[in-house]
Every structure is written in C-alpha cells, then in structure tokens.
Amino acid sequence: MAAEPDFDRTDFAILRLLMKDAWLSNKQIAAAVGLAPSTCHERIKSLRARGVLRGAHAEVDLRAIGFALEAVLLVQLGKLEIDVVDNFVSATATVPEVRGVFLVSGRADLIVHVVARDMEHLKAIISEHFNRHAVVLRVETSVVFNRQQQHVMPLPL
Amino acid sequence: MAAEPDFDRTDFAILRLLMKDAWLSNKQIAAAVGLAPSTCHERIKSLRARGVLRGAHAEVDLRAIGFALEAVLLVQLGKLEIDVVDNFVSATATVPEVRGVFLVSGRADLIVHVVARDMEHLKAIISEHFNRHAVVLRVETSVVFNRQQQHVMPLPL
DNA sequence: ATTGAAAGACCTTGGCG
DNA sequence: CGCCAAGGTCTTTCAAT
C-alpha cells in the first residue's frame, strides 16, 4: 500500500526547514537548500502529493487565551474489545480540550494530553469525558509543571 | 509582565483557522473572517507581536521517513533538586527523537514522547539518554499503538 | 530532475474614512 | 479599527536542457 519512495538529502533538508518554520517562503527554502525556486516548489508539491508533508499548524500560546492549566491523564480501561476502545479513542480525540490521545501498552491503556482554563475546568473535563464512560476504570491525573516540545526532524543528519 | 490584552471573536477565528491550516493565505483568512486583506494582515501581525501566535510547523509523516515506532516513557527521577531536574528536562528536550517532555505531578515525574526507527533504536535511546543518567530511577516504556492529535482551538465558541 | 522567464496573484505599506 | 489602492515581491506554470 505504501509506496517505496526514497528521499534524498534535499528532501530531508526541506522537511527539516518546514518543521522548524512553516512560514518560510518557497524562495527562502530554495536558497537554503541550494535549488532554484521552481525546482524547490516542485519538490514540495511532490512531498505533499506523496503524503509525507501533511500540512502545517500554527503554534498558539494557549496560556495567552486563558488556558493556564495542562495535564496528562493516564487512563485505565476495562474490557479491551477493540471496537469499543477505538471508538472511545476517536471520541476522546474530538474533545476540544484534548491535544493528543495515545493508545499504549503498559500500565495505562490511554495517555491523554489536555488543556484547561483552571482546576474546575479540568475536573469537568475528566468527569464528563472520562469518568462518565463505562469503559474507563480509572483516571490518574498528572498536572504539567513544565513542558518542552520539539518541532525538529528526528535525524541528526 | 504579561499585558492583559483581550481578544475579540475575530482574533479567535483567525487563530482557529491558522491552527487548523497554517498554509492558508492571508487573503483566504480575510475572506473567512469577513475582513479586508489589509485589516486581517494587521491583526495577524499584532497577534505575532504580542506572542500569541508563536510560529508554525509542518506536519510530517514520520513513518514515511523510517520512524515506524513511537513510545511514551514514564520516567521516575531521584532527588528532586530543581536545578538538576530542569537541566535534565532541557537536555532531554534536545534529543532529536524526543517529540515532547512533560514535567508532571503524580506517579511519574517525567513523561516523554519519543519516536524511533525500530525496537533496537528505541532501546538505544532509552539506554543512552535515560538509564545512563543518575537522576533517573526508573523508566517505564509504553509503546504507542495508535495516536490522534488535535490541532484545533480548545474552545467550542 | 532542474532551470529561467513570464504572467498572475499575493503581500505589505501608507493614506484616508 | 477598518478599508482601498499601489508598488514590490513571490508563487506557479511551462517549455527547454
């Protein structure tokens, strides 16, 4: 199903630049990787068409718009029927305050990253979207003190 | 230090659009929020200047470039001297394979999201960047089966 | 696959309601 | 604050190498 495209050094360079800053103009990228703007443009179009470049998202300071609290929920589920679990994952992902959902092995079945305005809001989210569901056995809430996120290629080369 | 700027409905609309798709042109955004392009441009500039809009990052399919494995590490630390911890968090955040680091309350002190090419690579990352450090007491590794991430405003309005 | 050139669209600023 | 208008810049396509 997945094609077998190999990427050369230039493709990686383009992806790396766009991961760091998606607002770079095509002209800037072309100059940085040593290509003509038209060539660079074709490369980027190809990467998009192949599904490697999926899009871009603005980074917004959520604290500035009133979301002062962040938490990670370690959720333990009950009966692990695949359909029920997948449905719950999908439903969880659509909650606006949820930033990410991970279905994982190990002690927790679900790891959920959420933002909230304050403690009361966080309580409401957990109560409404997690504790209310029968599939959820237990939720362990970890408040986030500090966070750092990377938007770089996971390759030194 | 932080001012208390209030955002109107239009600012939220702009931020919401850019979080979903940072490749939208200024003209498109202006049309979507019902402003002239020049006015919309001024709004966006202001949001950037105020630090609300921090940048944009391309979304790359990491599996397409050879990173087939994803994991969440629940890291327990030893002596919680603030300097030591902060330094370790910063050091961890600079590891290329690390996507995010969360310093949290609860059972785990650190929650780390990593990508890897395969199991051996994951083993190497944990061994080199976590188990080797004296501050790390224990690492519990959760392999990610499924993941969904949201790039939307955490506001229904 | 890469390039340069051309046309068109867009961004960006300044002046005005 | 918001809009219009104008200049300058960039994107985007295409024929050629």
Q: Which residue is nearest to the C1' sugar atom of D5, using CA?
A: B38
Q: Cβ distance B80 to B144 under 8 Å?
A: no
Whether residues B58 and A59 touch (CB distance < 8 A) is answered with no
Tell me which chain B residues have a C-beta less than 8 angstroms from the C-beta of A53: 58-61
| Angstroms from B106 CA to nearest CA on chain A | 5
For residue B101, what pLDDT is reported?
A: 98
Phi, psi of B19 (to 5 degrees): -70, -35
Nearest Cβ partner for A148 among B7, B15, B89: B89
Residue the block writes with tokens 């909650």: A95
Which of the pair, B137 or A7, is modelled with greater confidence?
B137
Structural domains present in chain B: 9-49 (1.10.10.10), 62-144 (3.30.70.920)
Distance A44 CA to D12 C1' (A): 12
pLDDT tens-digit series, residues B56-73: 999 999 999 999 999 999
Look up residue A124 and give its two tokens: 């409401």
The secondary structure of chain B as a DSSP string is --------HHHHHHHHHHHH-TT--HHHHHHHHT--HHHHHHHHHHHHHTTSEEEEEEEE-GGGGT--EEEEEEEEESS--HHHHHHHHHHHHTSTTEEEEEEESSS-SEEEEEEESSHHHHHHHHIIIIITSTTEEEEEEEEEEEEEE--S-S---
Residue B157 scores a pLDDT above 80? no
Residue A146 scores a pLDDT above 70? yes
- Judging by DSSP bridges, how do beta strands A110-116 and B53-60 pair with one another? unpaired
pLDDT tens-digit series, residues A63-122: 999 999 999 999 999 987 899 999 999 999 999 999 999 999 999 999 999 999 999 999
Contact residues for strand D with beta carbon within 7 Å:
A 25-28, 37-38, 41-42, 45; B 10, 35-39, 42-43
B148 at A interface, C-beta within 8 A: yes
Whether residues A146 and B97 touch (CB distance < 8 A) is answered with no
List, in order, residues 6 or more apart from B127 with CB less than 8 Å away: none
B residues 99-128 lying closer than 8 A (beta carbon) to A: 99-108, 111, 113, 115
Whether residues B155 and A5 touch (CB distance < 8 A) is answered with no
pLDDT tens-digit series, residues A21-54: 999 999 999 999 999 999 999 999 999 999 999 9
pTM above 0.85, yes or no: yes
| Angstroms from A81 CA to nearest CA on chain B | 14
Q: Which of A100, A140, A96, A87 is nearest to A121 (CA)?
A: A96
